[in-house]
Chains A and B, each alone.
Chain A
Amino acid sequence: MTDQATRGARRGRRRGRLPAVLAVPAFVGLAFLVVPLAGLLVRAPWSTLTEQLLSAEVGQALALSLVCASLATAVCVVLGVPLAWLLARGDLPGRGVLRALVTVPLVLPPVVGGVALLLVLGRRGLVGQYLHDWFGISLPFTTAGVVVAEAFVAMPFLVIAVEGALRAADPRYEEAAATLGASRWLTFRRVTLPSIAPGVVAGTVLCWARALGEFGATITFAGNFPGKTTTMPLAVYLALETDPGAAIVLSIVLLIVSIVVLVSLRDRWLRGLS
């Protein structure tokens, strides 16, 4: 078969009818993900929507959410990209174990993550007691605590994405750079990083989205106080108990903000990936 024929056959197959065995579950899956979001829109209190949107609490919670998620993402990039590099390229003993440990926060219930953070970084925690005694720093119940909790939960997403990109990247370019006398740091900066840029961006976006929606670790570690630690997810949860309408408005705001950010980033950065 010639190259052209292969390509033609492949294109033909792609155009063919979707097999029902795939199509049916695919559409059920799609409905499963989309219908609840539609439900939010249907039940939204449209008559009081603008009033609720302009209320001080919503603005405060949204601003806090955006700031904290962005700071947490910055922390994750600064620490997570080198960590991914270490896992993919470093020759450490027990790399498999390390990789498993790094991904633990992915499977850990976030509330447990929050408790773990309290036990380590709290005022009486393993590390926190020294922070408190020596520097007067106490992370729980502060905005910094929110950033810490979000970064803890979101970092594995970034590390996994970047590590995957690193493993897929051709190490021969790095070897070539090394044989030409480049140091490892120069090689990382000028060769490795540009080649994995899409992976880093994808990981960053995932990480940001996860941080924005973080609830369990945040409420456990950072507590809940309006303007200081009440992010959107916490505000949604508490509003749900007294004023479901307000909870829906908050959810829609969060939904719209995340969709706008994700779509604009996708158009700008991720086109090459898909």
Chain B
Amino acid sequence: MSRSLRAVVLAALAAVSLASAACGSDDGNPAGSAPTSAKAGVSGGITVFAAASLTESFDAIGRRFQEENPDAKVTFDYAGSSALSKQINDGAPADVFASAAPKNMDEVVDAGNASEPTDFVSNTLMIAVPKGNPGGIRSLDDFADASKKIALCAPEVPCGAAAEKVFEAAGITPQPDTLEQDVKAVLTKVRLGEVDAALVYQTDVNSGGEEVEGIEFPEAADAVNVYPIAVLKDAPNPEGAEAFVDFVLSDEGQAVLTEAGFDKP
């Protein structure tokens, strides 16, 4: 029993060392020597809590960050910003928080868990319809049509709050069929063609690819969402967190975000 356990542990160790050797052996040097970290990169695990709408761009940024800091391991937790801020204030061991709205960042700052957040991008709402626009959606007015299937974010999450603001500005009472818990859940309903229209961010329309078409509308300018990012006070890896935030704010990070459809803050 104990011998087989030891065998398992040894096998696991061997696998890990092989894997790390493989990662750091671009120089053609097989296992044995430690990977040369000429650049003084950061190391250790970095846990980033990020708004669901950042999923694709932060995944890409994370990959590039790890290329430059091979000893670091970035882990992302994507969810609605309100859920994340709640988890942080309840003591979740995160290093970085990137929120889709200042409100949720403020909650974290007010609780003393972060200070001096930096706005790093902004995002505008867009009407998303399934490919071919089966519901014949033309403008925001169609959201008041009860016969159309409509998905919105719940008012608790930033995209829902922004949507409320937009409808208020436009004087439209929407008739949603579902209020989803984050923007990606809304997008999924569009991708699967389960709803005729939804309000998501312009970046989500981009990430939806072929299955999703976007329709711009003038009222969107009334609810531009600014995204703040901050290192958390109790970050288990403050150095890594700082480096990651710097990377997001760097030209390279900003280029990824712009490509995804984000605007400058």
Contact = CB atoms under 8 A, between A and B. Distances in A.
**Chain B binds chain A:** yes
Contacts of B181: 219, 224, 237-238
Q: Identify the interface centre among A226, A229, A242: most chain B CB within 10 Å of its CB.
A: A242
Interface in B165-183: 176-181
Given A229-B178, A238-B181, A244-B86, A122 B157 contact: no
Interface in B85-111: 86
A132 to B, nearest CB: 10
Contact of B178 (A124, A223, A242): A223
B253 interface: no
A77 interface: no
B80 A241 contact: yes
Contacts of B189: 140, 223
A241 B89 CA distance: 11
Contacts of B52: none
B156 A118 contact: no
Interface in B152-201: 154, 156-157, 176-181, 185, 188-189, 192-195
What band does the interface of chain B fall in when counting residues whose beta carbon is under 8 Å from A? 20 to 34
Contacts of B80: 241
A241 B82 contact: yes
Contact of A224 (B82, B83, B178, B188): B178
A10 to B, nearest CB: 33
B73 interface: no
B220 interface: no
A223 B190 CA distance: 13
What band does the interface of chain A fall in when counting residues whose beta carbon is under 8 Å from B? 20 to 34
B257 interface: no
A206 B151 CA distance: 33
Given A224-B154, A225-B176, A124 B83 contact: no
Nearest to A239: B156
Q: Identify the interface centre among B149, B176, B177: most chain A CB within 10 Å of its CB.
A: B177
Nearest to B83: A241
Contacts of A119: 192
A141 interface: yes
A170 B178 CA distance: 50
Q: Identify the interface centre among A124, A223, A240: most chain B CB within 10 Å of its CB.
A: A223
A229 B156 CA distance: 17
A225 B192 contact: no
Contacts of A225: 176-179
Interface string A225-255: 1100100000001101110100000000000
A244 B85 CA distance: 12
A124 B195 CA distance: 10
Is chain B's interface secondary structure helix, strand, loop, or mixed overall?
loop
Nearest to B149: A141
Interface in A96-122: 115, 118-119, 122
Contacts of A223: 151, 177-180, 189
A179 B193 CA distance: 56
A150 to B, nearest CB: 17
Nearest to A119: B192
B214 to A, nearest CB: 19
B156 A242 contact: yes
A238 B178 contact: no
A118 B154 contact: no
B65 to A, nearest CB: 29
Contacts of B185: 219-220
Given A141-B149, A141-B178, A225-B177, A238 B194 contact: no
A118 B86 contact: no
B86 A240 contact: yes
Nearest to B193: A124
Interface string B223-238: 0000000000000000
B180 A224 contact: yes
A238 B156 contact: yes
Contacts of B176: 225
Contacts of B195: 141
A124 B179 contact: no
B177 A141 contact: yes
B153 to A, nearest CB: 10
Interface string B112-123: 000000000000
Interface of A: 115, 118-119, 122-124, 138, 140-141, 219-220, 222-226, 229, 237-238, 240-242, 244
13 contacts: A122-B192, A122-B193, A141-B177, A141-B178, A219-B180, A219-B181, A222-B178, A223-B189, A225-B177, A238-B181, A240-B83, A241-B86, A241-B157
Interface of B: 80, 82-83, 86, 149, 151, 154, 156-157, 176-181, 185, 188-189, 192-195
Given A118-B194, A123-B149, A241-B83, 7 more contacts: A119-B192, A140-B189, A223-B180, A224-B180, A229-B178, A241-B86, A241-B154
Q: In the A-B complex, list the 7 residue pairs whose CB atoms are closest, starting with the nearest.
A: A223-B178, A241-B82, A124-B193, A141-B177, A241-B156, A242-B156, A141-B178
